Structures are given as C-alpha cells and as structure tokens.
Amino acid sequence: MHNAVMGTGDTIGAYGAPAGGGVPLDFVELLPQVVFETDAAGIILYVNRIASELSGYSMDELRSGKNILSFLTPECREIAVTNMTEVMAGRRPRTAEYTIIRKDGSTFPVNIYSTAIIRDGNFAGLRGIIVDITDQKQTESALSQSEARFQTLIHNLPYGIVLIAPDGSPEYLNPTFTRLFGYTPADIPSAQAWFERAYPDPVYRASMMALWSETDAEKTASTTTDFVVRCKDGSDKSIQFHRVNIDGGRTILTCIDMTARVKAEEALRESKHELDFITGNMIDLIAHAGPDGRYQYTSPSYQTVLGYSETELRAMSGFDIVHPDDIQRIWATYIEAIINREPRIRYETRLRRKDGEYLPFEVTAKILYDDAGRLAGGILSARNLTERRAAARALRESEEKYRAIFANSSEGIFQSTPAGSYLIANPALAHMYGFSGPAELLREVTDIAAQIYADPADRSRFIELLEKHGAVTNMEMRMRRRDGSLFWVSTNARAVRDAGGAIAYYEGTSRDITERKQSRERIQDALREKEVLLREVHHRVKNNFQIISSLMNLQRQRIADEGLRSHYGDAINRIAAMAAVHERLYRSADLSRVDLADYIADIAAELMTGFRRPDRPVALHCDTAPITVPVEIAIPCALIINEALTNSLKHAFPPDWRGDPEIRITLRRRGPGEVELALADNGVGIPDQPPGPAQSLGLQIIPLLARQINGRHSIERGDGACHRIVFANIPAAAR
C-alpha cells in the first residue's frame, strides 16, 4: 500500500506512468477542483488541499486511510461500486453525479471524472477529479420553481390568454384559449390565419382588421373591444378582447367569453398551459499555461469541447482562442492582478471552437510565481456558460411572461392562506378592493373574512367548498372595499395542498360583477312589469272580441235572411277563434306562446257543438302532438282550423250523402323546426275549380292565412278533402 502523503517534487500519476507523463504536484495543489488517487481497495492515497475546504475534514483526516466510498451517501455507493468495477475491467473512464457528505453532515452534489491506475499491467487504483456542481443545481432548481409558479397561475385563469409576437403570430396560447375557440397554434400560425378563421365574413373581417391596424397606429397602451368570433366547430361566440401592448412590440390579448352574459349571464370557463425548458451539464476545462501564455497542459475536456487536438493546443497561446473583442479587457485584468499581486482572478470570455463557433465561458485563473517572485504562468479553469445562460434566459423570459400577465390581467389574481391573509395579489385585485396597490393590500389586510367579506359566513362557505371539492367555480359573493362600500364578485379558486395533503394556500381569480348583477335585477324588474302589462293587454283584447261577438250576435238575431245570418255566424266563429287565443295567453304562464294541441281540442269541441246534427253525428278524431307556437302563428292557425272545420261541417256531408261522417285533425312535427297541420274529412270533397267569387270565403281565406305564417298550403281531393299546411315554428319577426 502506497504512502498517503507525497513529498515535494512528486507527480500525480508517477507510479507506473511513463517518464515525464505525470502532472506536477504543485500544479495539482493549485487546482480549484478536488484531485484524488486511491489504491485498488478505494483507500485514499492522495487528495489536494481544495478537498479539505469542500469536505470540512483536515488534510490529515483525509489522508488517514479513509475509503473514498465513505464520503458518498448510501444511495450513491452502489452506483460508485458499479462504476469502479467497470473501470477495473479496463473500460473507458466514466463520469457520474454523486452526493458527498461533509464532516458536519451536510451534503453537496458533485461530478466525478475518474480513470484507472495500471501498474505492472494490473489495476492498482483510481485517479480522478471531483467537481462541485452546487451552483448548477441551484440554477436548475430556481428555474423549476419559477416554471411551477407560472404554470399554476396561468392554468387557473378562466379566460384565454394569447401572447402575440411583433409579426402578429401567436407566441403562446393557454389551454383555455384552445378550449374556448377550438383552435391550436397549428390552426392559426399567423395573424392572417386567425382573421380568416375567426371572421369568415369578408366585410366583417375587413372591419376587424382595420380596427386592429388603427389601434396599432395609435400606440394605445391597452384597449378593450367586443367581437363575434367563429370557433373551430362552426359556432359563434361573443368575445371581449382586452389588449395590452408590452415591450419589444409584443402584445398580450385576454379573451373573455361574453356569450354566456349576452344569452343568460352564464359563467366563464377555467383553464392550463405548460412550458418546459431543458438544461444540461456544464463541463469544466482545465489548463496550465506558461509565463509566455502558451498551453503546457490541457485536460481532455478542452479537446472534447473545443475540438482541438492536444498537439494543436500546445502550439497555441491561451489568447489565440479568445474572442478578439475580449483580449484587451482580459489583458488589463491580468496586468492589474500581477501589479497588485492578486493570487486569483475571475472573468467571462468567449472561446473559439475549431469550427469557428464561439462559446461563452467563466474562467478562474490562479497566477503562479517562482521562488524569485517572477511570473511563472497560471492555472486556468473554464466553465462552459452556454447551458447556464440558456437556463437563466429561459428563467428571465418565464418570469417576464408571468409578470406581464399577472400585472396586466383585468381580473384580480390572488393566493391566500387558510388563516386569512394574502400571500400575493395583482394590481387588479388591489384596485378592486380600493387599495393603491398590492403592497398596501398585503400590508393592511390581515383578516380576509372580517375586512374583505361583507358577510364572514361567505368566507366559511368558500373554505368549506374548497376543502370538500378542491375548487369552486363562479362563486358569487358580496365584498367590502376599503372605504366600506359593498360590491359583488365572481370567484374561481382552488385549494393547493402540501406533500402531506394539508391545504397550504388557496389561489384563484375574482371579477367585479356588480354592474352585471344590477343589470340582471333591472331586467328582471322590467320583465315582471311587462308581463303584467301584456297579460292585461291579452285580457282586454279578449274582452273586446267578446263585446264585438255579442254585438254581432244581437244583430244576427234581427236578420231574417238565413244566408246573411249564416255569414254573421261564420264571422262570430272567427272572432271567437281569435278571442280564444288571447284567453289562453291571459291564463298561461308563458305570455308569448300557445299550446296548439290544447287549443285545437277546445275549438273543435266548440264548433262540433254549434254544428251538431242529432240525425247524423259527425265523429271527430284529434291526433295532435303537444306543440307550442308563438302568438304570431297561433292566431292564423286558429283561423285556419276554424275555417277548415266549419267548411267540412257545413258542406262535406249533404243530406243525400251516404256514409259515416268523420273528420280527422292531425298536428305533428315534420323535420327540423317545421310543423304540419292537417284537417281531413271523408265527405263529398271539394270541386276542382279555380278560386273565384263562387268559391266559399273560407276556401279563399285559408291560403292567405298560410302565406301569412310563411307556410305551404295544399288541398288533397279524393275520398273527401284534406287541407294540409306546413310551416316553420318561428315568429315572423325572426324570419
């Protein structure tokens, strides 16, 4: 077993290595990384002094026969043994990430680069370098935490968010946007694609594009506009767009679905989008430069990362691969350090790969002096900053996106504790509650239930629902502003639990709906007033019809001419048919629609009674489906039924006709939105003659009434007669 301590003049790798092939011990002692050697059993034979600084053990303790595996955490030892076995078998050196235990029990992550020591053809131990990667891990952790925070908040927003690049293309869409419209980034790769899909009507699209261009020209910080948007499934939605211009020519577009409010003040939807950033391992380059700046030693990583061979590097000065723009600054740094006798300097520069590409590095240089105090060169350790800068840039961009959305959202965003204090709040929430900004809100509100809620019981109900279901959607509550005034909010929130399942905090959004609530109440009051007025109108119309009918009936009794009396009777029946519609509307809960099936049964029974013939009773069959129609359709239908049924009862069954009289009325749905009304008898039928004065008034009125409801009328002649009317069941004003 070799001695644990080497004397001055020894070299790492001297045992069994070719002459001149080792690295000077003085050089190794100056390295900022741990350099070690072990015997075949893993007992430490040598470590440089940086190992003491990192581990907390003294040099004597480190060189007192400790096994290198004893410094690893238990879960890392098995991996280390496997790797050592592969090295012993002669396979190429491996690099692995481990966790080292300091003397005080704390741990830190490292990368270990190792190779086998071969002596007399046999495995004699390990030689390697241990690199502290704590900074790298902290950067990765910060990025992960920022991403999680951003994703949590963005996924809780109940409206669509679009981040638009300066060229008009969507840089980011949150999941709610896709749920809202159905479009994915692939569907709308550009502003033009969005306008063509969202506004298919060319005229409407042109006006939208003109308005967008006008807003661009005015350089307005933020605007709010309402548009009708065609979704991917073909449906149309009323959308409120809130546009905020941010730095770099980009735009944040908030898309709020207003369709529910326009139709019935229904709720907005929530939603979520994930962003991933990938970082890798950083590789340190180690070099020894002489007083003339030329490389005397370069680590294998120098060659791997930069692409030069060892021979090429030894023919170079360190400044040969430094970016020309950095040389003067670095020379000045070195000269100042030499003048001030500074032992170590650190700077950032760009090093040129063999293929011409420049990579960013952080360089730590140890300046060496000989015994006479003359410059003897330096030890360089260069860490590749490419991945670190990419991670930092991704972190910065992520935080910028989060801050922009958080600060410019038109809805209040919050996180609060179960105890009743706010953790975070955006400006919109602070202003909603009457505070000048988030800082003032967080400082002054210490009891949300007592200070913010108009009724503290609402806070208890809010917490109870979150504990039971994990989330609440569109929960409406009254809140109190800082000045004591009350207003309504609609809140979407969820409970966030810790690893143990306990609620850590609540997070969500709140929207001021006071104006919407007041508008809804005004509409309901107005509807109640109009309902009373309309009911009274129907009642009076029905009474007026009855008065007219009574007057005509009195006049009819004075007429001796039977034909004229019959015409008066037909007119009275027509008035009664219209009066019956208004009577039903007056007594109905729905003042705008009539159940046509019930009405047919009533008017048919009344007419059958009026035209009753005991000697030859007429059988009436009603096959009617329950169909409600608007009042604009109900009155013409009432007159059609009256005319057709009266015509059959008066003319279809003359005294010389033989048979069993029968009338059949059918009412059924036919196709999407269409209704078919048919009245048929098995009597003598209707003569096939052109319309004219000789034709009965009823036969002239029925086609006119059918056209009034935009229906199609036909007469079927054969065994009896059949009037068939097909019409669309929508009000005339909507056609």
The yes-or-no verdict on residue 218 having pLDDT over 70 is: no
Residue 693 — very low, low, confident or very high, per pLDDT cuts 50/70/90? very low
pLDDT by residue (tens digit) across 600-638? 887 777 777 767 776 778 888 989 888 888 878 877 887
Alpha carbon distance 286, 301 (integer Å)? 8
Q: In a 3-state reduction of DSSP, which class is residue 532?
A: helix
Task: Read off the amino acid at residue 111.
Answer: N
Find the helix packing angle between 191-198 and 202-218, rounded to 10°. 140
The yes-or-no verdict on residue 710 having pLDDT over 80 is: yes
User: Mean pLDDT score of the chain, rounded to an integer?
Assistant: 77
Q: What share of the chain is helix, strand, coil (3-state, %, to 5)?
A: 40, 30, 30
Report, as an integer, the average pLDDT of 146-173: 73
CATH topology of domain 411-509: Beta-Lactamase (3.30.450)
Instruction: Give the domain ranges of the chain.
Output: 11-132, 158-263, 284-384, 411-509, 513-590, 592-735
CATH superfamily membership of 284-384? PAS domain (3.30.450.20)
pLDDT of residue 546: 65
Q: Which of 14-23, 133-142, 156-165, 673-682 has the lowest mean pLDDT?
A: 14-23
Residue 698 — very low, low, confident or very high, per pLDDT cuts 50/70/90? low
pLDDT by residue (tens digit) across 67-87? 888 888 888 888 888 888 777
Taking domain 158-263, whether its CATH number is 3.30.450.20 is answered by yes
pLDDT of residue 5: 32
Q: In a 3-state reduction of DSSP, which class is residue 161?
A: strand
Residue 574 — very low, low, confident or very high, per pLDDT cuts 50/70/90? low
Burial class from Cβ neighbours inside 10 Å (0-12, 13-18, 19+) for residue 392 reads middle
CATH superfamily membership of 11-132? PAS domain (3.30.450.20)
Alpha carbon distance 417, 437 (integer Å)? 19
Residue 323: other Cβ atoms inside 10 A: 14
pLDDT by residue (tens digit) across 333-369? 888 888 888 888 888 888 888 898 898 888 888 888 8
Alpha carbon distance 160, 181 (integer Å)? 9
**Paired residues of 624 in beta bridges:** 667
In degrees, to the nearest 5, what angle opens at C-alpha 559 toward C-alphas 556 and 564?
80
Q: pTM for this structure?
A: 0.31
pLDDT of residue 75: 87
Return all residues near 279 (Cβ < 8 A) that are at least 6 apart.
139, 140, 143, 387, 388, 390, 391, 394
Burial class from Cβ neighbours inside 10 Å (0-12, 13-18, 19+) for residue 361 reads buried
Measured CA to CA in angstroms, residue 264 lies from 177, 478, 560 at distances of 22, 21, 60
Report, as an integer, the average pLDDT of 484-502: 90
pLDDT of residue 675: 92
CATH topology of domain 592-735: Heat Shock Protein 90 (3.30.565)
Q: In degrees rounded to 5, what are phi and psi of residue 5?
A: -115, 130
Residue 453 — very low, low, confident or very high, per pLDDT cuts 50/70/90? very high
* Fold match, 284-384 / 411-509: yes
